[in-house]
A = this chain, B = another copy of it.
Amino acid sequence: MSEHGPVDTLKAIGKRITEAIGEGRFPVVDLPNRATDNIEFDSKLNQFVLGSSRVKRDSSNLKHIRSFAQLTWVAYFAKQLLESDRTSSLRDLYYSSEAFGVRFNDQAESDRIITDLECLTGQPREAFGIFPEERSSIFGSVKLNYTVPGYEGREVDLTLSPDGFPIGRALMTAEPVETDAEMILAVESGGMFSRLIETKAWKRYQAILVQLGGQPPRSTRALMRRLHEAFGLPVFLFTDGDPWGMHIAQVVKSGSANAAHILGLTIPSANWIGVTPEDIREYSLPSEPMASADLKRLDELARDIRYEGPDWQNHIAEFRSLSRKAEQQAFSRYGMDFVVDTYLPDKLE
């Protein structure tokens, strides 16, 4: 991924601001409005997008001057990161602001301004070198070329580390070269990821394995989508059997309202293979009663446009009538290899 794009975008923003000042006008930035009533679901793209309403940050308006200055500084800092080939965590950016005399009340405020920059540019913060702390992992028969400084053009084979590879900036920006795999299989827990590596299930299924670890960072979703598109690989998602696990799969598939301003992260054809409520019943999995938070979450999902289809509504109804949940590790009640030898092959067919 070339980083030419983001720098040019930032320069264009800066140019508009300095031109306004040069002409004696107060600079104004206008960006898509990301208030709830301007978020709509685009069923063709299968993701949330922003509507046509826009908001202004007008430096002549006393109410706007603070967020205008903060946004300008975040854009400046992002350009610095890109030009010096650095990355920053969200937290680090918050602290860095002090070096410039820019004030944020707390990290929540600086995070919000970073989202403003995403809205303004249509690009995810990761494109500007700004990453969250969380990482997930990947393993499988696929080769990519790094593009990060010092590693340009160096090939990495993702079977080389039997503990997997963390998905950071280097893998997120690497270019897919070739693969023997025929699918991407993403799993929720680290334990399941390790099990699939050490039983050589990745070879048997010809799968690239991804460990999501809860709601995966966007860098992980971006890499999955890139591999999906570059090699035409179908994507299968295996999570815990509860509303939260189901929703991890849904966000990989259809994205989130929070990221309605960013295109290119969703994988509409991705399949949630389980643990479904039907699996819990059919396999008599060890399960726990749902807590009230789980049931409340089911109600929210039932009304969510991403769950409109009959299959999703069925899963929700089944979860409700069952009123129990199970983890993906629960298959171990049938022995360590049951999930690898029986459950997953059945589901992946």
- Residues of A with Cβ closer than 8 Å to B? 80, 84-89, 91-92, 94-96, 98-99, 131, 133, 135, 137, 146, 148-151, 156, 160-171, 189-191, 194-195, 198-200, 286, 327, 329-336
List 13 A-B pairs, Cβ < 8 Å: A84-B336, A86-B195, A88-B191, A91-B191, A95-B327, A95-B333, A98-B332, A133-B191, A156-B160, A161-B166, A163-B166, A164-B168, A165-B165
Apart from A89-B329, A99-B336, 15 more pairs, CB < 8 Å: A86-B198, A86-B199, A96-B333, A99-B334, A133-B190, A135-B137, A146-B162, A161-B165, A163-B165, A163-B167, A163-B168, A163-B170, A163-B171, A164-B168, A168-B194
| Other-chain residue from B160, B164, B166, B335 in contact with A160 (beta carbon distance below 8 A) | B160
- A89-B189, A330-B95, A333-B95 are known contacts. Are A164 and B163 too (CB-CB below 8 A)? no
Which of B146, B190, B194, B286 is in CB contact (< 8 Å) with A95?
B286
- CB contact under 8 A between A98 and B170, given known A91-B191, A92-B191, A133-B189: no
* Docked pose: A88 CA to B191 CA in angstroms: 7
Contact B163 A198 (CB under 8 A): no
- Asked if B170 and A162 make an inter-chain contact with CB atoms under 8 angstroms apart, the answer reads yes
Contact check, A135 vs B190: say whether CB atoms are below 8 A apart: yes
Complex contact A286–B189 (CB within 8 A): no
Chain B residues whose C-beta falls within 8 Å of the C-beta of A164 in the assembled complex: 166, 168
Report Cα–Cα, A94/B171, bound state, in Å. Answer: 34
In the bound complex, residues from chain B placing their C-beta under 8 Å from that of A286 are 95, 98
CB distance from A332 to the nearest CB of B (A): 4
User: In chain B, what residue has the closest Cβ to A101?
Assistant: B333
User: For A163, what are the chain B residues with a Cβ–Cβ distance below 8 Å?
Assistant: 135, 165-171
* Residues of B close to A160: CB separation below 8 A: 156, 160
With a CB–CB cut-off of 8 A, which chain B residues contact A87? Answer: 194-195, 198
In the complex formed, the residue of B with least CB distance to A168 is B163
Cβ–Cβ contact A96 & B332, under 8 A: yes
Chain B residues closer than 8 Å to A91, beta-carbon distance: 189, 191, 327, 329
- Knowing A133-B190, A163-B166, A163-B167, the reply to whether A99 touches B332 (Cβ < 8 A) is yes
Residue of B nearest to A190 (CB): B133
Max chain B C-beta neighbours (<10 A), residue from A80, A92, A170: A92
Nearest Cβ on chain B to A203's Cβ, whole angstroms: 10
- The residue that A162 contacts in the complex, of B95, B151, B195, with Cβ under 8 A, is B151
In order of increasing CB-CB distance, the 10 nearest A-B pairs are A163-B168, A89-B191, A98-B333, A162-B170, A95-B332, A96-B332, A163-B170, A92-B329, A163-B166, A95-B329
